[in-house]
Amino acid sequence: MATNITWHEGLTHAERVELRGQQGLTIWFTGLSASGKSTIATALEQHLLNARKINAYRLDGDNIRFGLNKDLGFSEADRNENIRRIAEVSKLFADSAAVALTSFISPYRADRDSARALHDKAGLPFVEVFVDIPVEVAEQRDPKGLYKKARAGEIKEFTGISAPYEAPLKPEVHILNDKITVEQAVQQIVEYLEAQKYI
């Protein structure tokens, strides 16, 4: 643990928001594997960048594990640490007056609440988006064949099969993603962001 360190105060968040002309925030997607988090987050990122000219960047579950979090596995402790680091990184993006989109299963309520608390403490908006589908539908979609492997016992501690998923109690946006299209899901989030005047 570092002790001889002091926080360096540079530009304030308000100054960055003013200079960039956009709000910084984190949009935190949570849901089962294959619920549609990455697909919706990517479509939203594209919409924000292209149609709105808003700087947005998506932190993706697998991609982060290739680099920043390549030392972590899928035990509960490692999943906690995975989410803690993502929360810190998304907070930096939000603080820079960008829109951070995170697409991670993030199955534990306490971890997501910690991510939220981190943003709250810094005065940065945190929008939890629950991408909700029944596990049977996720299992049918299964584009990466992961449920199949989990059922065969080839993947241990697989969320929804052999590890828990704790659904959000009060997400800012609740998407019933077995009932609507990706475009409708994006629209639902955009309407929330507009209503809050975040975009």
For 78: left if phi > 0, alpha if psi spans -120 to 50, otherwise beta; the answer is alpha
Interface with ligand ADP in residues 86-125 (CB under 6 A) = 103
177 binds ligand ADP (CB under 6 A): yes
- Alpha-carbon distance of 59 to 90, in angstroms, equals 8
Q: Is 36 in the site for ligand ADP (CB under 6 A)?
A: yes
Query: Considering beta carbons, is residue 122 or 182 the nearer one to ligand ADP?
Result: 182
* List of residues 6+ apart from 59 with CB closer than 8 A: 86, 89, 90, 93, 100, 101, 102, 103, 104
Instruction: Based on the residue annotation, tell me whether 106 is a catalytic residue of this protein.
Output: yes
What values do phi and psi take at 78, rounded to 5? -70, -35
* C-alpha–C-alpha distance, residues 139 and 194, integer Å: 33
Strands (E) in 120-170, as ranges, are 126-132
Judged by CB under 6 A, does residue 67 bind ligand ADP? Answer: no
Q: Does residue number 39 form part of the binding site for ligand ADP (CB under 6 A)?
A: yes
| Segment lying near ligand ADP (by CB under 6 A), choices 16-24, 32-40, 118-126, 158-166 | 32-40
Question: What track of x and - describes contact with ligand ADP for positions 131 through 170 (by CB under 6 A)?
Answer: ----------x-x---------------------------
Q: Which residues bind ligand ADP (CB under 6 A)?
A: 31, 33-39, 103, 141, 143, 177, 180-182, 185
Active-site residue numbers?
106
